[in-house]
Structure 1
Amino acid sequence: MSAAETSLKPYSREWLLSDRPTSRKQARFGRAYIVWRRFAENRLALVGLAIILVLIFVAALAGVLAPHNPVVGDLRNSRLLPLGSPGYLLGTDDQGRDILSRLIYGSRLTLLVVVLVAIIAAPIGLIVGTVSGYAGGWVDAVLMRITDIFLAFPKLVLALALVAALGPGIENAILAIAVTSWPPYARIARAETMTFRNSEFISAVKLMGASPFRIVLRHVMPLCVSSLIVRVTLDMAGIILTAAGLGFLGLGAQPPLPEWGAMIASGRRFILDQWWVAAMPGFAILIVSLGFNLLGDGLRDALDPKEAGQ
């Protein structure tokens, strides 16, 4: 096979790195490949990705990996067993429940919270920010003042107020966290929109007769997605901590659900003698939050247009 034929072979390195792509498909795959190469150069980002993949794997196979029932324990024979006990690697809590099994099943609740909050909050922030930045005028003023009102309150305090009004429960906690999470995304989307709303390609699209709705939906929003993905990933740690804080205060997931914040709350009474009851879920929160932060830092470096131009 000649060099020319090799360079045209689909999905080859030369095909992906071609500076003259012959199709949109080639351009998209080439861009994705370049981003992945830049991301893979960051060892810590790969560690973060590995942590998140392990979390997803554990959550998906919780029923297979958990050695015991996460909500039913043996008060008579297995209450507050220490680390390394036979059959209970991470010990048991005050109800005789296996802490490892509760951590494994708790990973499902953690993923549920971060995914649903991202699905709810990110699109709201993207819509508000792009519409505000593109429309300008009184629309921009009204939407940004609403955003400023939400930003004026600390996220945890506002989430506590909303959950107190709606009632405790994992569903209300997710809704409250989502409502308090969208304003920063709106600010980012607005800033991105204002940088290119008067650019030449937007003017060309206007001359072709595209409506403002189509311009925002098809041309402005896609340009804001990469920055939003980075911010959402970096915010995952804060979302996990907020959910754990609500659970710790009894306003999130309700017993006997194995939510990590609620596990810390139930173990704080034994922190001096049976420290593992509270320490193990705290360690899980630390590791997962670190994973999301490392992943977000790697995505930021990989998707940064300034880095791409070097």
Structure 2
Amino acid sequence: MSGVVGWRARLLSDTPASGREAALGRLYRGWLQFKANRLALVGLVIVLGLVVVALLAPWLVTHDPYRQNLAQRLLPPGAMGHLLGTDEFGRDILSRVIIGARVTLYIVALVALIAAPIGLIVGTAAGYLGGAVDAVLMRLTDVFLAFPSLILALAFVAALGPGIENAVIAIALTSWPPYARIARAETLTVRKSDFIAAAQIQGAGTARILFRHVMPLCISSLTVRVTLDMAGIILTAAGLGFLGLGAQPPMAEWGAMVSAGRRYILDQWWVATIPGLAIFVVSLAFNLLGDGLRDVLDPRQAR
């Protein structure tokens, strides 16, 4: 116990003994601030639960999520060993929701990995270079921002064709402009700083300055925005699936499950309601987590 108290005192000390200890101290203070936000903790627990369910999905399912059994179609929750009932083809809804968590995490992760770097590169280049480069890149960003993201994603999917991969590309192409705006604003605040001037005097090129000195300073704000945008990404992916332009049958995707169950919403409510609740809970969790990260990583934006 005394060892734990000693480490805690060292991490909270104003005079850390090393750079590593200073970094760990910042992380520990951030965790303490994050932990004080109970709603953010709830969001973190749900998001971690989504990750665990997605990783262990093949071992958590109670039935084959793709096996049809018309003799057991539209069973209510709890009937014949189906905890959340069955759909119009007799497939177990709980198993399909669990497998759908893997699809949702796949979409969210790929969109974040594609859209955030694009926005970061465009925004930092526009803010640092300025002039004509800034004007061209920001007008291009304005064009994308002028259209609602779902409408623009529908246009891209219509051009690329339906499918989960094309849906990911379409959502990523509509998600990067806000990240570019944030990165540009952060770059404008630091491009005249002394450490940038020192790097220029030492002969650092534009690319080195952007990647080694400017972009790392934008990561915290970008992380907050990406986390807050996860809910929108999930809803856009579900919307595409609902319209039949995202994941294709028989893939267990929550939006497609809601679409298939809407015909039975009055009598067999569970077919559409349960995947809809999954979308709602996970979207809410990402928003709560994003609010907590904003308070820790970007205190200027804290409420």
TM tier relative to shorter chain: over 0.9
Offset at 1:73? 2.1
Q: Which residue of 2 aligns with 1:193?
A: 187
- Counterpart-to-counterpart distance in 1, 2:94 and 2:67: 13
Give 5+ residue unaligned stretches, structure 1. Answer: none
> What SS is found at the alignment partner of 1:194?
helix
Q: TM-score, normalised by structure 1?
A: 0.94
- Counterpart-to-counterpart distance in 2, 1:301 and 1:121: 23
Root mean square deviation, CA, Å: 1.7
Q: How does 1:193-232 map to 2 (within 5 A)?
A: 193-232=187-226
Q: How does 1:93-112 map to 2 (within 5 A)?
A: 93-112=87-106
Q: How many residues align?
A: 301
Q: Which residue of 1 aligns with 2:61?
A: 66
> What SS is found at the alignment partner of 1:67?
coil
Letter in 2 for 1:217: F
Match of 1:142 among 136, 141, 155: 136
Deviations 1:185-241 (A, max 9, x none): 000000011011112222222222222211111111010000000000000000000
Q: TM-score, normalised by structure 2?
A: 0.96
Q: Which residue of 1 aligns with 2:120?
A: 126
Offset at 1:36? 1.0
Q: Does 1:246 align with 2:240?
A: yes
Offset at 1:19? 2.3
> What SS is found at the alignment partner of 2:79?
coil
Q: How does 1:1-310 map to 2 (within 5 A)?
A: 12-76=7-71, 78-306=72-300
Q: Is the 8 A contact 2:294 2:301 kept in 1?
A: no
- Counterpart-to-counterpart distance in 2, 1:251 and 1:307: 36
Letter in 2 for 1:269: R
> What SS is found at the alignment partner of 1:205?
helix
Offset at 1:307? 8.4
Give 5+ residue unaligned stretches, structure 2. Answer: none
Deviations 1:2-60 (A, max 9, x none): x9x999x7xx1222223233433222212111111111110000000000011111111
> Which region of structure 1 is more displaced relative to structure 2, 24-33 or 53-62?
24-33
> Which region of structure 1 is more displaced relative to structure 2, 56-65 or 168-177?
56-65
Letter in 2 for 1:60: L
